[in-house]
Structure 1
Amino acid sequence: MHKMSGEMQSCIDECLRCYQSCLGMASNHCLPAGGKHVEPEHFRLMMACAEICRTSAHFMLIGLPEHTHTCRACAEVCEACARSCEAVGDMQDCVAQCRRCAETCRKMTA
């Protein structure tokens, strides 16, 4: 098994937390809340964010050098998701987690 840097482990952890946060908020907060919480563009972005976070963590865990590509995409989608969640409102935990994830992903692409 390849040796994993602390920075990469930190990024994996943030990606998995963001995956859990976006999927959990979408399912257990947005769906019951309805209205602007389930507008297609916002809801799709949350689903996409959860998926790219899961995928980025997966690429890092299996040690593919291409994780830089998934991390770059992940940072962009997380930022977009954070902006969307902020605009919808009452989703501060998701906003904060998306921004933390984007920050650690950007470090992995440097």
Structure 2
Amino acid sequence: MHHQMSAEMQECMDACHQCHVTCLSMAVNHCLEAGGRHAEPQHIKIMLDCAQICSVAMDFMARGSEHHRHICRECAEICRACAQSCQGLDGMEDCVQACLRCAEACEKMAA
């Protein structure tokens, strides 16, 4: 039987994908080049954690895993931590936005 994906789940997967790409590319192409607070290990780590968990959440939803709810809950928490780390740093608005959008979508999936 083919797993039917809800519009809400598709929206969450799209948000996860956008967040994954944004965090990964900004960590490597913006933060490391900007240096200073942008390149602090804790900041880079949360951005890479965020990119990874978004990818994992997307995979779990794509295959209709019954475990997607707690993965999405974890994803939302990490996305919020990443958004907080990015807030106040120059040029990080896109990342903050992507993280918050993903956190909201994942919180809906976790409910």
Equivalent residue, structure 2, for 1:13: 14
Equivalent residue, structure 2, for 1:91: 92
Alpha-carbon offset, residue 89 of structure 1? 3.4
Deviating 4+ runs (over 2 angstroms):
87-90
Equivalent residue, structure 2, for 1:65: 66
Equivalent residue, structure 1, for 2:39: 38
Figure out how many residues of one structure are paired with residues of the other and give that number: 110
Work out the CA distance in 2 between the residues paired with 1:45 and 1:69.
Answer: 19
Length-normalised TM-score, structure 1: 0.97
Structure 2 residue ranges without an equivalent (≥5): none
Structure 1 residue ranges without an equivalent (≥5): none
Report percent identity of matched pairs: 54
Length-normalised TM-score, structure 2: 0.96
> What is the root-mean-square deviation of aligned Cα atoms in Å?
0.7
Greater displacement, 4-13 / 86-95: 86-95
SS in structure 1 opposite 2:87? helix
**Deviations along 1:42-62, whole A, 9 cap, x unmatched?**
100000000000000000001
